[in-house]
Amino acid sequence: MSETTPILIGYDGTDASDRAVQFAANRASAEGCPVHVIHVLEWSPYSFLSTKELEERHQRRTEELSRAEATIAPALRVFTDRNIPVTSEVRYGHSGELMCQIATEKKATQIVIGRKGGTALGARLMGSLALTLVQASPVPVTVVP
Amino acid sequence: MSCQKYVPAWAAGLATSIFPFMTMAQEVTLDQRINETIAPVSNVIASIIFYSVPIGDTNFPLIVGWLVLAAAIFTIYFGFVQFRKFGHAISLVKGDYFHPEDAGEVTHFQALATALSGTVGLGNIAGVAVAVSIGGPGATFWMILAGLMGMASKFTECTLGVKYRTELPDGRVSGGPMYYLSKGLAEKGKPGLGKTLAIIFSVCCIGGAVGGGNMFQANQAFQQMVNVTGGDSSFLVGNGWLFGLVMAVIVGSVIIGGIKSIAKVTEKIVPFMAVIYVTAGLVIIISNIGMVGQAFSDIFVGAFTGAGVAGGVVGALIQGFKRAAFSNEAGIGSAAIAHAAVRTKEPITEGYVALLEPFIDTVVICTMTALVITISGELNSGLTGVELTSAAFASAYTWFPLVLALAVVLFAFSTMLSWSYYGLKSWTYLVGEGKGKEIVFKLFFCLCVIVGASMSLGPVIDFSDSMIFAMAIPNVIGLYLLMPVVRAEIKQYWAKIDSGEIRKVDKAITAKAQA
């Protein structure tokens, strides 16, 4: 196994992110480098919760984490089937900020994500991970349609 | 309804025999009937809780002294923690010490925001108006003082709320005075006393939930609706039950029907309304900046001379202390239930965060309301409650009563939701968990919304005040017995800070849930 730096993949279980996984798998086996799969659960420390939600937060978090594990499992299998070394993490926070930060930490060569395929207006209003990364990423970004 | 003059609550010892409302010759509406049925009961309860001793020419309710004494003792025992650790509290809320591994859990900010949304409400708008209309501008001074000291009470109870909370096997967290009273005192070798106090607290908390957390809210929201729809000639006059019914259905659809969208919308709008309210208040204060000096001088002079106030200085002091306690609930124990859900390894950190609550609620927002009322010159208009606040804001902006009406209804609604939760937690503590048992409480809670909207302000305030203050009796006894525990927590926490075991976290590093 080569000790080179990994390709980072943002994975959320959608069809587009499955295509991103395929693309990254091809790149990784061509380059002989490992991959690192990230699943981000959108979360803000400043959002407002009701008393009931406060009570149940810890319980929900445990559920969310196990659901997230189940979500990324098929993606991980794609890499292991092709003998590509793969690591993964599930994290809470802002997806754009987190991916940039992890890319720096892991010294990633590039970031690969799928795109939602929304309209330009929708992306402007809702905020788009692809746009954020293109603006802010410390490494090259590939957006797979 | 505004023609009925409010009976000062501190005279409630006599109130059982005074029913000015019943002597009015009018056709008997459903509202009056509800009022006549409930008022004698609430007056008896009020006269017991507000047992007063004569001081000079006025009556001093012992329960007010009980709370203020507690706040003073905690302030001294913890060495003025509310001033020394104010900066540390801000730092905790900002997330400077937030461990990245805890991302996705309840943060200090979230626990504080939720607890605040339960306390910031009508107490800040209507309660302050009641205080200054009875106690004069001087009541404001005592209110601020009580707010500052109350920070120490809040610090104590919220630390204990987190320390002795219960984590259910399914991961849910339950905390509050019933838990620290029973578990904490059992640790101190007094399980019987702890259990008894926890039960008394739970009973009073249910009363407080339907009183201050429900009937008072429904009542004042209705008053303001009458106010903006034409005052005495409004079609709503005498039909409080109808307004109450509508409110009850909406509250019921959230707490029984579990309709999250209504609660979600309220959550989004309430902070926004709070910002509008505070901004409008600040604009009025700034545009009358020349009168602020006079207003503060009225407040200080009034506080120490009691000029023109029934009961003089003591009268002003009682009103200030009472409304502060009613508004920020320090020493009452309610907030400890909301704060208990935070994710922290150090219970004391939530105590520090919680001490900001009376500061924001009383020292900032209540003081602002009092200043606006004093500046507006509406104080001698004979109005009280939310009508007085509304008139004061209207003197600057004629359209403001409409905004205030919306704010009042929303604040009332969010406070009701919070208190329905506090009441429910106490109820399930008493009778045990169970869907059927929960429904019984929730239905009763909705019924009280209708009752509250139908009654006149006097009996509602007496009942609300007495039940909320009653919670303070078992709670404060527990706090006295457990304050050494809090001191031990402080000691070990600062030892960890000094040794570097706990230190600020680089904020750029967010959660690492799994490697």
Tell me the average pLDDT across B181-200: 94
| Confidence tier at B434 by pLDDT (50, 70, 90) | confident
Q: What are the tens digits of pLDDT across the range A88-136?
A: 999 998 888 889 999 998 899 999 988 776 666 655 555 678 888 888 8
pLDDT, position B25:
40
User: Which domains does chain B possess?
Assistant: 28-499 (1.20.1740.10)
Rounded Cα distance between B508 and B138, Å, is 48
Chain B residues near residue A67 by CB distance under 8 angstroms:
none
Residue A72 pLDDT > 80: yes
Mean pLDDT over each residue of chain B, to the nearest integer? 83
Rounded Cα distance between B439 and A4, Å, is 60
Secondary structure (3-state) at A87:
strand
Model pTM?
A: 0.84
Q: What are the tens digits of pLDDT across the range A31-58?
A: 889 999 999 988 888 877 878 888 888 8
Residue A29 touches partner B, C-beta closer than 8 Å: no
Taking a C-beta distance cutoff of 8 angstroms, is the pair B383, B391 a contact? yes
Tell me the average pLDDT across B296-318: 82
Least confident of A30-44, A49-63, B416-430, B439-453: A49-63
CA distance A132 to chain B (A): 17
pLDDT, position B26:
47
pLDDT, position B405:
84
* DSSP H stretches of helix in chain A: 15-31, 51-81, 95-105, 120-126, 129-136
pLDDT, position B308:
66
pLDDT, position A131:
81
CA-atom Rg of chain B in angstroms: 22
Taking a C-beta distance cutoff of 8 angstroms, is the pair A89, B515 a contact? yes
CA distance B479 to chain A (A): 23
Least confident of B155-159, B177-181, B321-325: B321-325
What are the backbone angles phi and psi of residue B165, rounded to the nearest 5°? -70, 165
What is the widest separation between alpha-carbon atoms in chain A?
52
- The ipTM assigned to this model is 0.81
The answer to whether B106 contacts A54, with C-beta atoms less than 8 Å apart, is yes
- Selected for mutation to probe chain B from A37, A54, A66, A71 (highest B CB count within 10 Å) is A54
Percent of chain B with pLDDT over 70: 91
String of DSSP letters for B211-239: IIIIIHHHHHHHHHHHHHTTGGG-TTTT-
Amino acid present at B278: V
Q: How does DSSP classify residue B123?
A: I
Q: Which of A129, A55, A143 shows the shortest CA–CA distance to A98?
A: A129
Residue B113 touches partner A, C-beta closer than 8 Å: yes
Least confident of B25-34, B108-117, B243-252: B25-34
Amino acid present at B126: A
- Selected for mutation to probe chain A from B99, B162, B512 (highest A CB count within 10 Å) is B512
What is the count of residue pairs from A and B with beta carbons less than 8 Å apart?
106
pLDDT, position B31:
73
Distances in Å between the Cα of A115 and the Cα atoms of A67, A95, A134, B209, B467 are 22, 13, 12, 49, 57
Of B267-276, B409-418, B469-478, the range with the highest mean pLDDT is: B469-478
User: Which domains does chain A possess?
Assistant: 7-144 (3.40.50.620)
pLDDT, position B351:
93
Rounded Cα distance between B135 and B131, Å, is 5
pLDDT, position A118:
62
> Which stretches does DSSP call E strand in B70-131?
none
**Chain B residues 490-509 with a CB less than 8 Å from chain A:** 508-509
pLDDT, position B24:
42
Percent of chain B with pLDDT over 90: 29
Selected residue with higher pLDDT from B124 and B482: B482
pLDDT, position B348:
93
Tell me the average pLDDT across B180-204: 93
Selected residue with higher pLDDT from B377 and B189: B189
| Confidence tier at B280 by pLDDT (50, 70, 90) | confident
String of DSSP letters for B253-314: HHHTT--HHHHHHHHHHHHHHHHHHHHHHHHHHHHTHHHHHHHHHHHHHHHHH-TTSTTHHH
Residue B506 pLDDT > 70: no
Chain B CA closest to residue A45: B107
The answer to whether B106 contacts A58, with C-beta atoms less than 8 Å apart, is yes
The answer to whether A48 contacts B113, with C-beta atoms less than 8 Å apart, is yes
Residue A101 touches partner B, C-beta closer than 8 Å: yes
Q: What are the tens digits of pLDDT across the range B119-156?
A: 887 888 888 998 888 888 889 999 999 999 999 999 99
pLDDT, position B352:
94
| Confidence tier at B404 by pLDDT (50, 70, 90) | confident
